Amino acid sequence: MSEIKTITPEELQQGLEAGEKYNLVDVREDEEVAEGMISGAVHIPMGQIPEHLDHFDPDQEYILICRSSGRSGRTCEYLNELGYKVTNMVGGMLKWQGETTPKEK
């Protein structure tokens, strides 16, 4: 198993502002994402990841996001063991200073 890569909220925000494209996956629960998500993120609650593996392309990299980076870290470990390329946003949404958008239906 390889070490899980990390990205800070600041690094992610700078990349987004520079026009970088990322595959963002928010693993928080419904009531948490109702308060707002990073624009462009896909919402898949942590407990539903195993039945949504078809969302993940082994050739793409994904940045996982949660409230404080605990759940996203565990989800990164799980997906990493399955061979997916994942990065954990350390600090989670508690440290996110950028804009958020309501969850898209």
Q: What is the per-residue pLDDT across 25-36, written as a single tens digit (0 to 9) for each?
A: 999 999 999 999
At residue 105, the pLDDT reads: 56
pLDDT single digits (tens) 43-100: 999 999 999 999 999 999 999 999 999 999 999 999 999 999 999 999 999 999 999 9
At residue 40, the pLDDT reads: 94
At residue 103, the pLDDT reads: 78
Handedness of CA 49, 10, 13, 15 (dihedral sign): negative
- CATH number at 21 reads 3.40.250.10
Q: What is the tally of structural domains in the chain?
A: 1
Domain range holding 19?
A: 5-94
At residue 31, the pLDDT reads: 95
Tokens of 70: 């605990």
At residue 102, the pLDDT reads: 86
CA dist 26 and 93 (Å) reads 10
The pTM assigned to this predicted structure is: 0.95
Active site residue 66: yes
At residue 1, the pLDDT reads: 55
At residue 11, the pLDDT reads: 98
Catalytic residue (one of 24, 27, 63, 66): 66
Helix (H, G, I), strand (E, B) or coil at 42: strand
